[in-house]
Structure 1
Amino acid sequence: MTVDAPPSPPATVDAPPRESHARRWRGPGWGFVVKLVLMALVNAFGVMTLLSAFRAESWVVFCGMLVLLLAADIVYFTRRALPLKYLVPGLVFLLVFQVFIFGYTAYIAFTNYGTGHAGTQGQAVEAALIQGERRVEDSPTYPLSVLQRGDQLGFAIVGDDGDVLAGTADEPLDEVRGAEIGQAGTPSEVPGWTVIPKATVITDADLQAQIAALRVPVSDDPNDGSIRTRDGSTGAVYESTLVWDADAQTITDTTTGTVYTADDSGSFVAADGSTLPAGWYVNVGFANFVRIFTDPALAGTLLSVTVWTFVFATLSVLLPFALGLVLALIYNDARIKGRRFLRTLYILPYAFPAFMSALLFRGMFNAEFGIINDLFFFGAHINWLGDPWLARAAVIWVNLWLTYPYYFLVCTGALQALPKDTLEAASIDGAGRARQLRSIILPLVLVATAPLLISSFAFSFNNFTVIYMFNNGGPSIPGAPYALGATDILISAIYDISGVSGGAADYGLASALSILVFAVVGGISAIAFRQTRKLEEFQ
């Protein structure tokens, strides 16, 4: 009888040593550190923008920036919003540089914002009172020092009781504790400010102009006057001959007794119809849009500009496209020798900066010494830039020279991409070159280039560079407002109306015109894109 041996204990498997917590946690990677630094910069910029918007009481910017900042922090500090991490930067740029700008332009279009109406009512009151300032007859002369804090200038004076008072154009005079008075009797040290030495004030002409224009209010009431200085070492109180009554919303001229009352159009108007130069911007509804079509002087000029804009945009597409297509057809023929070299010569205008080309042509078309008259018209005195029709023909020619290389390249690429078997089949069927060009080549080329032609029309519709650099929209239209010219297109007319080139600015009217231009170009482009679908039947 055999006795079974007791079962042996199961073999033990050594468990892997447990890794300590200190060794297992490796800490954040470099990606997290970079993200943290970038988001810190974004938040710093966002907080700075919020503070600036809060001080300026721009609540739309404040709320928009707050929403964007919170959205960015939520997206980049959570793990669930992975797709948004890639979409947020593009969405932010779209909102800031497209949607916001268009929305702000639309907002300005419904206001009277422009020269004489560029600020709030409070700023208009302050400007009016400044324009009527006179020195108070019994005002004492105060020892004065010029202060600087960053880019901001201010005044510090020694008051009647020996205290030092300091203020800026935005901050009325207030007592400064801890200030010291120098041997000259003027403030020598003002906490929080840098006292500009007298020698600097005397030798710096730009600084002298800023100091002479600086007015520091005596108190919060603008009727109490302001401290001004002529030499940078003494100051006096200046009061305006105009008195502002906030309750009655009137400004009274104490010298003549004329009372100017605030009206709904953002102006101070007297009973005789006269107005003060300083006004403020208000919402005027559709007044700017109505003015475009009803103001006799403006509507007639804008109609002429609009017709010329359509003619210019259409010819700026058709003529260069036709020339580029003809050249592409010629140099796509394998029988022509040196095609690469000749193609390079033809695209040289495309490589030259457009604004420089326009300036050069401006000199070439000069009636006195331009080489156009000397070489091609035997020295005849042809006033290309002074005659409206000649100027229009000249600018069309300049734009043709600048843009045909683009269409030459596009059409060359489209021709080289044509299916050769289709052309060979047409040739076998007896179709000649003219029939192939009319029935096969042109339809297929248009299919490839039609979207580019539409975008080129929109570009030509707003081609500000050629118009402005060639002859600045001239020659002038007699009796036209805002110095509009015969070759001005709508975009250059908007530039003139906005006052950037000098003269009175009417941003509200310019914005309203911009909205109309956007609607016209957008509508034409939408219709054209729909029509181009019919060309797909040739494919």
Structure 2
Amino acid sequence: MTTAETARTFRPLAHAWVALPVLISAGLLYVAVALYVSGSPVLALAVVAVAASLPAVYLLRGAYVWRYLYPGLLAFAIFVLTPLIYTVYISFTNYSGANLLTIERVRSYLEQDVYAASDRFVEYRLHRIDGGFALSTVEHTGTGQVIRSSGVIDPQSPPETPIRLTDAPVAGEALPLRDVIAQRPWLRKLQLQLPEGIVLRYDGLRRFAHIAPRYEPAGDGYRDRATGGTVRPDGARGIFVDDAGQQVGPGFRTWVGLKNYSQLFTTPSLREPLLRIFAWTVSFATLSVLFSGSVGVTLGCVLNWELLRGRAVYRTLLILPYAVPAFISILIFRDLFNPNFGGINELLSYLTGRPVNDMPQWTSNPWFARVMVMIVNTWLGYPYMMIVATGMLQTVSSSMYEAADIDGAGVMGKFRHITLPSILPPMLPLLVGSFAFNFNNFLLIYLLTAGGPSMPGVETIAGETDLLVTYTFRIAFRDAAANFGYASAIAAVIFVVVGSLAYLNLRLSQRTARVR
């Protein structure tokens, strides 16, 4: 084989391309093992699937086409499909701030719980002796003090059996408290035995006490040594209960089926604020499309008027709200609408001659708060509609307007019979998309009103300007109960609604394409 043929045969980049997917898969397998060991078998299985598919897609000839689709499909699975599946799963559980742990961890918590088996305890001091440590103890009795001590203890391997206390004295000075604190890890493992056989356990920086495990296994539950009763798991409520039905220990996650979904419609304290918020969400999205669309189309028609001078300047000025980041505009408007110090009420007070206190209470009155939200959202949304309408108007033939002028049609007549029918069908998918966007306009509500003012007379954390998405967020992350299961059920309903709107948008787009 010639030198040239050898050079063509040995291609380092090609070999590196083969090795790269294999190395990545090996790293993913390591991650999968770590996830499995940490108690996440589902995530570990998902990582194994990715590790197996990666070299298959990029090394097999038959999967050549999938090389270009694989990154996008993987990103879709990670950032869209996985959160969706997890949210739906959580909606069928009682996962909340009161039910965070698994039942195995709650059992571990109960098995580690202790109680005072008697009032016997000893105070102790720690002494450093011969490279190890020794304890001197003092027990207060009705007749005085009893001083005892332990033998030398190696902190590297503390005894697992109880250390019998004797009357032998301990030499050396006792360590100060700051040095005792550093020895807590091995002190917690010690057990001290009194001459009569009572075993004492670590009970703080100053003493060992007669404490013992409170719960011992009994069937699927436990026997309470302190009361003599039983503790059993209540799967329906996700808690352990005693004989009186009272909760014992923290709650655990459990499967509740359709309970969270049924609460949306059957529990009055949850149904009423949800229905009010749903009605406001639909109204807000509809009015936002109507107002921003109306203002945008009107300004687009004005800017399309050929006799208007300085149209380029006006167009630039009117697009400025679209150029400023939304969160900055929202925060500015929040200050402007401040009832006591905002510029809006100052201006209204100047124009009406009435004090600022008599002006609209934009943050505490529900209707004024909704009006404020609509004003700000119209300001943020009209530039987009204006740009779209301006582009659509370029497709309308000027000969149609000339014919209308000959027929004596007025401005409104030409708008109703020529302009609107010409631009509305192409804009319809955009209007549906705008409705879906405003249906979940979290940023506006969260920054402007935070959902307030609060709804009076409701048990949940609900506000008069809350949208479904902000209501869900507040239930999950702002309410003290942190009811993730109920919030996930609402999120699943929102997904169905928005998914239906997306499907409707697709059908309208297809119909518009066929009409064209």
Q: TM-score, normalised by structure 2?
A: 0.78
Residue from 506, 513, 522 that aligns with 2:499 = 522
Separation in 1, partners of 2:72, 2:321: 34
Q: Which residue of 2 aligns with 1:393?
A: 371
Q: Alpha-carbon deviations, 1:292-341, whole Å to 9, x = none?
A: 11111111111111111111111111101110111111111122222222
Aligned positions of 1:347-426 closer than 5 A: 347-378=319-350, 379-381=355-357, 382-420=360-398, 423=401
Change (3 A) 1:323 1:47: same
Aligned positions of 1:286-301 closer than 5 A: 286-301=258-273
Separation in 1, partners of 2:14, 2:42: 34
Q: Which residue of 1 aligns with 2:233?
A: 262
Q: Which residue of 2 aligns with 1:103?
A: 85
Give the superposition deviation at 1:429: 6.8
Change (3 A) 1:80 1:257: same
* Contact 1:217–1:225 (8 Å) recurs in 2: no
What is the identity percentage for the equivalent residue pairs of Structure 1 and Structure 2?
31
Aligned positions of 1:422-433 closer than 5 A: 423=401, 433=411
Give the superposition deviation at 1:184: 11
Q: Which residue of 1 aligns with 2:488?
A: 511
Q: Which residue of 2 aligns with 1:441?
A: 419
Q: Alpha-carbon deviations, 1:437-462, whole Å to 9, x = none?
A: 22332223223322221111111111
* Contact 1:321–1:404 (8 Å) recurs in 2: yes
Q: Which residue of 1 aligns with 2:295?
A: 323
* Contact 2:336–2:344 (8 Å) recurs in 1: yes
Aligned positions of 1:171-186 closer than 5 A: none
SS in 1 for 2:481: coil
Give the superposition deviation at 1:161: 7.0
Counterpart of 1:389, as a letter, is W
* Contact 2:429–2:506 (8 Å) recurs in 1: yes
Separation in 2, partners of 1:458, 1:487: 17
* Contact 1:217–1:227 (8 Å) recurs in 2: yes
Separation in 1, partners of 2:375, 2:200: 61
Change (3 A) 1:264 1:27: same
Separation in 1, partners of 2:414, 2:509: 21
Q: Which residue of 1 aligns with 2:107?
A: 125
Q: Alpha-carbon deviations, 1:253-289, whole Å to 9, x = none?
A: 71x5554321113101233332135011011110110
Give the superposition deviation at 1:503: 1.4
Separation in 2, partners of 1:157, 1:79: 72
Deviates more, 1:285-294 or 1:30-39: 30-39
Change (3 A) 1:508 1:226: farther
* Contact 2:21–2:55 (8 Å) recurs in 1: no
* Contact 1:418–1:444 (8 Å) recurs in 2: yes
* Contact 1:444–1:538 (8 Å) recurs in 2: no
Counterpart of 1:298, as a letter, is L
Give the superposition deviation at 1:132: 6.3
Q: Which residue of 2 aligns with 1:56?
A: 38
Separation in 2, partners of 1:75, 1:111: 37
Aligned positions of 1:218-257 closer than 5 A: 242-245=214-217, 247-250=219-222, 252=224, 254=226, 256-257=227-228
Counterpart of 1:125, as a letter, is R
Separation in 1, partners of 2:157, 2:345: 67
Q: Which residue of 1 aligns with 2:95?
A: 113
Give the superposition deviation at 1:163: 4.2
Change (3 A) 1:28 1:297: same
Give the superposition deviation at 1:77: 2.0
Give the superposition deviation at 1:468: 1.1
* Contact 1:447–1:532 (8 Å) recurs in 2: no
SS in 2 for 1:262: strand
Separation in 1, partners of 2:286, 2:184: 54
Q: Which residue of 2 aligns with 1:27?
A: 10
Change (3 A) 1:534 1:43: closer
Counterpart of 2:10, as a letter, is G
Deviates more, 1:334-343 or 1:522-531: 522-531
Q: Which residue of 2 aligns with 1:162?
A: 153
* Contact 1:128–1:278 (8 Å) recurs in 2: no
Q: Alpha-carbon deviations, 1:504-534, whole Å to 9, x = none?
A: 1111111111111111222244345545666
* Contact 1:365–1:384 (8 Å) recurs in 2: yes
Is it true that 1:69 corresponds to 2:41 in the alignment? no
Separation in 1, partners of 2:207, 2:261: 49
Separation in 2, partners of 1:366, 1:452: 33
Give the superposition deviation at 1:69: 1.2
SS in 2 for 1:282: coil
SS in 1 for 2:101: coil
Q: Which residue of 1 aligns with 2:283?
A: 311
The count of aligned residue pairs is 470
Is it true that 1:274 corresponds to 2:249 in the alignment? no
* Contact 2:429–2:508 (8 Å) recurs in 1: no
Is it true that 1:343 corresponds to 2:325 in the alignment? no
Where does structure 1 lack aligned partners over 5 or more consecutive residues?
Answer: 1-17, 145-155, 168-172, 175-182, 187-197, 203-207
Where does structure 2 lack aligned partners over 5 or more consecutive residues?
Answer: 128-132, 136-149, 162-171, 192-198
SS in 2 for 1:285: coil
Residue from 75, 80, 89 that aligns with 1:93 = 75
Counterpart of 2:77, as a letter, is L
Counterpart of 2:493, as a letter, is L
Separation in 1, partners of 2:325, 2:391: 23
Separation in 2, partners of 1:362, 1:465: 13
SS in 2 for 1:472: coil
Q: TM-score, normalised by structure 1?
A: 0.75
Give the superposition deviation at 1:411: 1.4
Counterpart of 1:465, as a letter, is L
Separation in 2, partners of 1:511, 1:414: 40
Q: Alpha-carbon deviations, 1:444-501, whole Å to 9, x = none?
A: 3223322221111111111111111111111111232332111111101101110x12
Change (3 A) 1:253 1:509: farther
Change (3 A) 1:462 1:75: same
Residue from 51, 57, 63 that aligns with 1:81 = 63
Separation in 1, partners of 2:185, 2:425: 63
Separation in 2, partners of 1:358, 1:443: 34
Deviates more, 1:134-143 or 1:300-309: 134-143
Separation in 1, partners of 2:55, 2:200: 48
